[in-house]
Amino acid sequence: MQVARALVLLTFIGLGAIVAATQTVASLFNYQTALGAPLISRGAYKLHPPLRVFVWSARWHDRYPRVFGLAHHLVGRRCIDFGLRGFRAPVERRASLTWRRRLGPVH
């Protein structure tokens, strides 16, 4: 049951990261018309379809590698952070105990 919950949570985190990456790229390109029509447009607020960042990346990654590198980092980093979160606390605790043993008591 915990595995199912973790997969559902990972899915939502992944989708959120994709939305964030799409909106970040659109913002960096100042919502140019070359990006296509936004899904929702209310005044200055524009929301592009979440998966459009992959289309843009396929088209323009070679021309703008830093922008799309940031987008790929946003998506990949969120998933990696979630995957490691469950293991982080025990590893940090063991590491800190190991260093305490090596350093001895602190006065």
Q: Each residue of 7-58: pLDDT tens digit?
A: 788 788 888 888 888 999 999 999 999 999 999 989 888 999 988 988 998 8
Mean per-residue pLDDT over the chain, rounded? 77
pLDDT of residue 56: 92
pLDDT of residue 48: 94
- Determine the Cα–Cα distance for residues 46 and 62; give it in Å rounded to an integer: 25
The domain tally of the chain equals 1
Q: Which domain holds residue 68?
A: 2-103
pLDDT of residue 78 exceeding 80: no
CA distances in angstroms from 36 to 56, 60, 77, listed in the order given: 10, 14, 27
49 torsion bin: left (phi>0), alpha (psi -120 to 50), beta (else): beta
pLDDT of residue 80 exceeding 80: no
Which residues lie closer than 8 Å to 38 by C-beta, 6 or more apart? 26, 31, 46, 47, 48
Q: Each residue of 44-67: pLDDT tens digit?
A: 889 999 889 889 988 998 999 888
Q: For the packed helices 2-28 and 65-103, what is the interaxial angle rounded to 10 degrees? A: 130
